[in-house]
């Protein structure tokens, strides 16, 4: 597995500085995060050849472009505007050599049912994914909102009807809705585009109390890595920290460098054989000789 970092917490860094930081902290790739479809590095007026050249020279992969957009049950005009923005970012991502564009799961208003949101989202994602496929781009939906669970994500990918529609899965979101990775990982196995890693300390009701470096919060990262190995996943782990104006450069340096070091150490550990059983049901059960000469089972 390879490591990437999201620039959500580092919006002020220019591409060259961001690429330099990624290499210094121990990452192989980058994700560029946008807000409501705004992506300042990939605007239609910008020349993308310098960015593509800088990435190639540094040996850093542009893993994905996150649009910051979601599709629930929106009015027709708003829906068309969002689709247009996603299609523009698909075009720009293809120009710079990026092969994945991400949209987010939806939060819906009380007047909108989950069924309504699912119908509009599945139709929209299927349409956009077909266009993305023409550019050899994968469209990925991140688990969030009413689509936080693996069951909903699996349904959306299945309804989309194309291999170009996949999942950007965040195990912290699964932890918040109390879904075990032992359920989510096997269910999403064939649909995973990449895994986004965010960690946090959670309160008693699953609310986020504070974000922390990878391995210090609610996400059982060692078990997660072993589960991913169990499905032969060899893709990307993308470290993400939400946008936070309170976090200074020194904090970002410590966060990203320690998270990369922690993940490298976990990835270097030997593979553990996992079982759904508390004990090995196929283990031989020999009768052993007790010290007093009586037989006893181990």
What is the CB neighbour count within 10 angstroms for residue 264?
A: 11
Alpha helices (H) in 102-209, listed in sequence order = 114-134, 150-160, 171-176, 181-188
Q: Does position 275 have pLDDT exceeding 70, yes or no? A: no
What is the CB neighbour count within 10 angstroms for residue 22?
A: 25
Instruction: Evaluate whether 169 touches 143 at the Cβ level (below 8 Å).
Output: yes
Distance, in Å, from the CA atom of 7 to the CA atom of 169, rounded to the nearest integer, reads 17
Report the pLDDT value the prediction gives residue 246, as an integer from 0 to 100. Answer: 55
Q: pLDDT tens-digit profile of 200-237?
A: 899 888 888 888 889 888 899 999 999 999 899 999 99
Q: Which two tokens stand for residue 195?
A: 């895994």
Mean pLDDT of 113-141: 90
Distances (CA, A) of 138 to 64, 98, 237: 9, 9, 16
pLDDT band at 274 (very low <50, low <70, confident <90, very high): low
Residues in CB range of 252: below 8 A, 6 or more apart: 9, 10, 241
Domains assigned to the chain: 2-296 (3.20.20.150)
> Mean pLDDT of all residues in the chain?
84
Q: Does position 100 have pLDDT exceeding 80, yes or no? A: yes
Mean pLDDT of 144-168: 89
Q: Does position 297 have pLDDT exceeding 50, yes or no? A: no
Mean pLDDT of 51-66: 90
Report the pLDDT value the prediction gives residue 140, as an integer from 0 to 100. Answer: 95
For the whole model, what pTM was predicted? 0.82
The enclosing H or E element of 168 equals strand 165-169
Distance, in Å, from the CA atom of 226 to the CA atom of 211, rounded to the nearest integer, reads 23
């Amino acid at each position: 597995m390879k490591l990437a970092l999201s620039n959500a917490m580092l919006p002020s860094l220019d591409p060259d500085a961001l690429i330099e930081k990624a290499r210094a902290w121990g990452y192989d790739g980058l994700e560029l995060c946008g807000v409501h479809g705004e992506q300042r590095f990939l605007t239609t007026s910008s020349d993308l050849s310098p960015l593509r050249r800088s990435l190639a020279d540094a040996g850093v992969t542009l893993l994905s472009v996150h649009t910051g957009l979601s599709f629930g049950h929106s009015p027709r005009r708003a829906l068309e505007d969002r689709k247009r923005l996603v299609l523009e970012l698909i075009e720009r991502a293809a120009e710079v050599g990026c092969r994945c564009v991400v949209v987010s799961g939806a939060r819906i208003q009380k007047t909108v049912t989950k069924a309504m949101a699912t119908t509009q989202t599945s139709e929209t994602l299927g349409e956009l994914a077909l266009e993305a496929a023409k550019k050899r781009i994968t469209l990925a939906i991140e688990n969030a909102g009413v689509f936080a669970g693996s069951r909903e994500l699996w349904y959306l990918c299945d309804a989309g009807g194309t291999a170009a529609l996949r999942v950007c899965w965040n195990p912290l979101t699964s932890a918040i809705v109390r879904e075990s990775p032992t359920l989510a990982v096997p269910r999403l196995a064939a649909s995973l585009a990449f895994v986004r890693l965010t960690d946090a300390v959670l309160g008693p009701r699953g609310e986020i109390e504070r974000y922390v470096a990878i391995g210090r919060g609610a996400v059982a990262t060692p078990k997660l890595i072993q589960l991913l190995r169990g499905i032969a996943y060899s893709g990307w782990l993308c470290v993400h920290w939400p946008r936070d104006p309170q976090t200074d450069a020194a904090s970002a340096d410590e966060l990203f460098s320690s998270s990369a070091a922690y993940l490298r150490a976990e990835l270097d550990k030997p593979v553990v054989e996992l079982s759904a059983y508390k004990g090995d049901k196929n283990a031989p059960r020999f009768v052993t000789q007790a010290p007093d000469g009586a037989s006893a089972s181990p």
